[in-house]
């Protein structure tokens, strides 16, 4: 297939590299000229295997006709990308973002395009403009926003690879909700307390706060809290030594994805129903402002 | 007067030094032999004025007959001290602790002794075993636990000094509650977010969290939330560059006073009524455990 990947972050580079290894014809669409140049000169380098994949890089404004477009930009950049892609002739889209803040955008786009919500469970760290390290293997899950499950199965089968498996899910909301629970509990706590994922269940008090966050999230999303807590605990154990993306963002002074995660839940529910989620939402916003030196006193 | 100061921390050394300057005969009661020795050899050195006051130091087990005993140990050590002082012949006591966790101890002691609750609004930092820096001037407020207001007025007048003024208050609970609001808002937030007092109102999101903590505290203590928020804001402005004691304790890996502050409120109220206070209470307990390396996974 002719596949365009929008976004040159860790997820974009990882996905581009693997799909290229599967003999797809891959183009990466980026925002900055320097990244376009570096990828075109050096290809995408995938660590730790140390393989190079020769993909084409173009500016986001130069989008060509593709058989599939995979949007990998951070959730808070989805709206910018939407301006570029909404005008394209009909093409299938896959969205790979954390959180649920981009649901409205996906729904709007699905009026004229096939749209698949995606969840990527891999770990990846961008080393430089054209190099990405694959730090944890997982699944890419896809689900049709239009309930075209057979299309999702066909697409998953088409792009699945031995080192980069893709599966189709029936329910896009349930799939995103499952991921949101994980992110709503682990990400803000690891960022606020500067701890690895394991401490979220390993520290007695963080464990109690985490349970509260899990309960609140399940209340908003109408999920079974006991089952979800087992999932959260399991992920914390399996990734005990990992540093969450939000922790890294806070420590680097970068913008976090809190708006699409806890912020989405705060928008959906009254504060009295989810006070712990409201607290961590404001806390991460406070840390973002502090790192920028914002103050309004 | 013959005055005994129990505790050789910043507050104990500061109070001992000033009272000595007022020609009282002061003895400091300490726990550790090394501090007893250092004070007896060097006196108490008061900075930044750089004056030395020659007081006697004794071990807590060597308590002599005094005209007044001022208890300055941290709130979580009040119970240990109680074992030593409960058996003394009748003597007036002043308690200078943060929080409200020691109310029951004061009440029990007041069955056989005159007991005064105290609030010290000075800033002080202990430099070494016998040196203390006076970093912010304020008042010592006293109120009788037995409603003997004339005794409180008499005592305040007796120990008040130009550089160390002491006043008498009519209502011990109102006095401690006013102080608790300040401590319940400023201390945990500055400790959790590693910020100076000014950011508690200067950062937009911390400001919102602080208002919530203030409202919750006022709800538990039956205080006027608007008036108390003005007090909290005013203290934050006046001490904008200060580092709270709880922030310093967390950063040094020391035990904090959270149990007598937010912990007291959590004991008094249902969690649903004070979720933000519960959150910061658990957060500071988590930070204490993390600094000790505690984990139960």
Q: Is the pLDDT of residue A123 over 90?
A: no
Share of chain B above pLDDT 90, in %: 91
Q: Which of B247, B273, B286, B290 to mutate to test the interface with A (most CBs of A within 10 A)?
A: B286
Whether B295 is in a domain gets the answer: no
First to last CA, chain B: 55
Asked if A16 is an interface residue toward chain B (Cβ–Cβ < 8 A), one would say no
The answer to whether position A234 is within a domain reads yes
A186 in the same domain as A247: yes
Question: What does DSSP assign to residue B93?
Answer: E
Q: Of the residues B170, B197, B228, which one is the last residue of a structural domain? A: B170
DSSP state of B218: H
Q: Collect all residues of chain A within an 8 Å Cβ-Cβ radius of residue B203.
A: 286, 289-290, 294-296
Query: Please, which contacts does A222-230 make with residues 24 or more away whose CB atoms are closer than 8 Å?
Result: A223/A177, A223/A178, A223/A181, A228/A178, A228/A181
Residue A63 has phi, psi (to 5 degrees) of -60, 130
Residues B7 and B141 in one domain: yes
| Interface contact flag, A286 B237, Cβ < 8 Å | no
The single-letter DSSP state of residue B71 is E
Residue A49 is classified by DSSP as T
In a domain, B296, yes or no: no
State whether A144 and A179 are in the same domain. Answer: no
Strand A2-6 with B51-53, pairing = unpaired
Residue among A198, A240, A286 minimizing CB distance to B193: A286
Q: Are residues A199 and A130 in the same domain?
A: no
Query: C-alpha distances in angstroms, B80 versus A235, B34, B68, B77, B90?
Result: 43, 20, 19, 5, 19
Predicted complex ipTM? 0.86
Same domain, A166 and A180: no
Would an 8 Å CB–CB cutoff place B189 in contact with chain A? no
> How many other C-beta atoms can be found within 10 angstroms of the C-beta atom of residue B136?
12
Contact B121, B139 (CB under 8 A): yes
In terms of CA atoms, which chain A residue is nearest residue B205? A286
Same domain for A179 and A163: no
Digit-coded pLDDT (tens) for B63-113: 999 999 999 999 999 999 998 898 899 999 999 999 999 999 999 999 999
Percent of chain A residues topping a pLDDT of 90: 91
The answer to whether A168 and A153 have CB atoms below 8 angstroms apart is yes
B55 & B187 share domain: no
Say what the pLDDT of residue A32 is: 96
| Chain B touched by A121 (CB under 8 Å) | no
Residue A237: half-sphere exposure toward Cβ, Cα within 13 Å:
8
The reply to whether B155 and B180 lie within a common domain is no
Residue of B nearest to A240 (CA): B297
Nearest to A198 among B201, B237, B297 (CB): B297
Per-residue model confidence (pLDDT) at position A295: 67
| pLDDT (mean) for B42-63 | 96
Of B170, B186, B216, the one marking the end of a domain is B170
Q: Judge: A202–B286 Cβ closer than 8 Å, yes or no.
A: no
pLDDT per residue as tens digits for the range A20-69: 999 899 999 999 999 999 999 999 999 999 999 999 999 999 999 999 99
Q: From the CA of A276, how many Å to the nearest CA of chain B? A: 7
B34 and B154, same domain (yes or no): yes
The per-residue DSSP string of A180-216 comes to HHHHHHHHHHHHHHT--TTHHHHSHHHHHHHHHHHHH
The answer on pLDDT for B41 being more than 70 is yes
Whether B279 and chain A come into contact, CB under 8 Å, resolves to yes
Q: Catalogue the active-site residues of B.
A: 179
Instruction: With a cut of 80, say whether residue B3 has pLDDT above it.
Output: yes
A233 interfacial to chain B (CB closer than 8 Å):
no
Pick left, alpha or beta for residue B9 (phi over 0 → left; psi -120 to 50 → alpha; otherwise beta).
beta
CATH number at residue B133: 3.40.50.720
Q: Which residues contact B86 (CB under 8 A, 6 or more apart)?
A: B108, B109, B112
Within 8 A of A285 by CB-CB distance, chain B residues are: 205
Q: Does B205 touch chain A (CB under 8 A)?
A: yes
Helix, strand, or coil (residue A273):
coil
Tell me, what CATH number does B218's domain have? 1.10.1040.10
Q: Answer yes or no: do A125 and A187 share one domain.
A: no
Q: What's chain A's average pLDDT?
A: 95
> Of the residues A179, A241, A247, A285, which is catalytic?
A179
Shared-domain flag, residues B98 and B40: yes
Domain membership of residue A220 as a residue range: 174-289
Q: How far apart are CA B239 and CA B123, in angstroms?
A: 10
Q: Do B205 and A297 touch (CB under 8 A)?
A: no
Which residues have a Cβ under 8 Å from the Cβ of A58 and sit 6 or more positions away? A27, A28, A29, A30, A36, A64
Tell me whether A205 touches chain B (CB under 8 Å).
Answer: yes
Q: How confident is the model at residue B200 (pLDDT cuts 50, 70, 90)?
A: very high
Q: What is the mean pLDDT of residues B26-32?
A: 97
Q: What is the pLDDT of residue B149?
A: 96
Residue with structure tokens 């939000």?
A: A246
A193 with B297: Cβ contact below 8 A: no
Q: How far is B263 from chain A (nearest CA, A)?
A: 13
Which residues on chain B are in Cβ contact (under 8 Å) with A275? Answer: 275-276, 279
Count of C-beta atoms within a 10 Å radius of residue A51: 13
Band (B44; pLDDT cuts 50, 70, 90): very high
Looking at the domain assignment, is residue A296 inside a domain?
no
Residue contact B289–A198, C-beta within 8 A: no
Q: Report the C-alpha gap between A41 and A97 in whole angstroms.
A: 28
Checking if the pLDDT of A294 tops 80, the result is no
Residue A139 and residue A26 share a domain: yes
**What pLDDT score does A292 carry?**
84
Q: Please report whether residue B86 resides in a domain.
A: yes
Please give the average per-residue pLDDT across A137-151, as a whole number: 95
Total domains in chain B come to 2
* pLDDT computed for residue B296 by the predictor: 62
Residue B189 has pLDDT above 60, yes or no: yes
Residue-wise pLDDT tens digits, B231-284: 999 999 999 999 999 999 999 999 999 999 999 999 999 888 999 999 999 999
> Considering B170, B194, B215, which residue would you say is the last residue of a domain?
B170
- Nearest C-alpha of chain B: how many angstroms from A223? 21
User: What percentage of chain B carries pLDDT values higher than 70?
Assistant: 99
Q: Has residue A297 got a pLDDT over 70?
A: no
At A57-113, the pLDDT tens digits run 999 999 999 999 999 999 999 999 998 898 899 999 999 999 999 999 999 999 999
- Per residue in B134-147, pLDDT (tens digit) is 988 889 999 999 99
Tell me which long-range contacts B30-35 makes (C-beta under 8 A, separation of at least 24): B30/B57, B30/B58, B30/B59, B30/B60, B31/B59, B31/B60, B32/B8, B33/B59, B34/B129, B35/B8, B35/B129, B35/B130
* Assigned domain for A187 exists: yes
Average pLDDT over every residue of B17-42: 97
Q: Does residue A11 fall inside a structural domain?
A: yes
Residue A294 lies in a domain: no
The mean pLDDT value of chain B amounts to 95
């Amino acid at each position: 297939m002719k596949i365009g990947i929008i976004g040159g972050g860790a997820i974009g580079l990882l996905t581009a590299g693997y799909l290229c290894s599967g003999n797809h014809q891959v183009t990466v669409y980026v925002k900055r000229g320097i990244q376009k140049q570096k990828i075109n000169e050096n290809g995408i380098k995938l660590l730790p295997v140390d393989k190079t994949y020769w993909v084409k890089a173009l500016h986001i404004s130069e989008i060509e006709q593709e058989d599939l477009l995979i949007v990998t930009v951070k959730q808070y950049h989805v709206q910018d990308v939407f301006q570029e892609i909404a005008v394209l002739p009909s093409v299938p889209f896959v969205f790979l973002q954390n959180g649920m803040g981009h649901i409205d955008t996906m729904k709007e786009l699905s009026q004229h395009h096939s749209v698949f919500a995606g969840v990527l469970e891999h770990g990846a760290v961008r080393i430089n403009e054209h190099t990405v390290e694959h730090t944890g293997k997982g699944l890419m899950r896809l689900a049709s926003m239009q309930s075209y499950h057979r299309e999702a199965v066909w697409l998953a089968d088409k792009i699945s690879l031995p080192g980069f498996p893709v599966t189709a899910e029936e329910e896009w909301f349930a799939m995103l909700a499952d991921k949101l629970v994980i992110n709503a509990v682990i990400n803000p706590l690891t960022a606020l307390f500067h701890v690895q994922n394991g401490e979220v269940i390993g520290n007695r008090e963080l464990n109690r706060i985490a349970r509260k966050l899990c309960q609140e999230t399940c209340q908003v999303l109408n999920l079974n809290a006991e089952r979800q807590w087992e999932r959260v605990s399991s992920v914390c154990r399996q990734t005990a030594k990992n540093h969450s993306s939000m922790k890294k963002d806070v420590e680097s002074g970068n913008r976090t994805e809190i708006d699409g995660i806890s912020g989405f839940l705060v928008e959906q529910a009254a504060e009295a129903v989810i006070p712990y989620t409201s607290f961590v939402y404001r806390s991460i916003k406070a840390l973002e402002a502090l790192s920028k030196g914002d103050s309004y006193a």
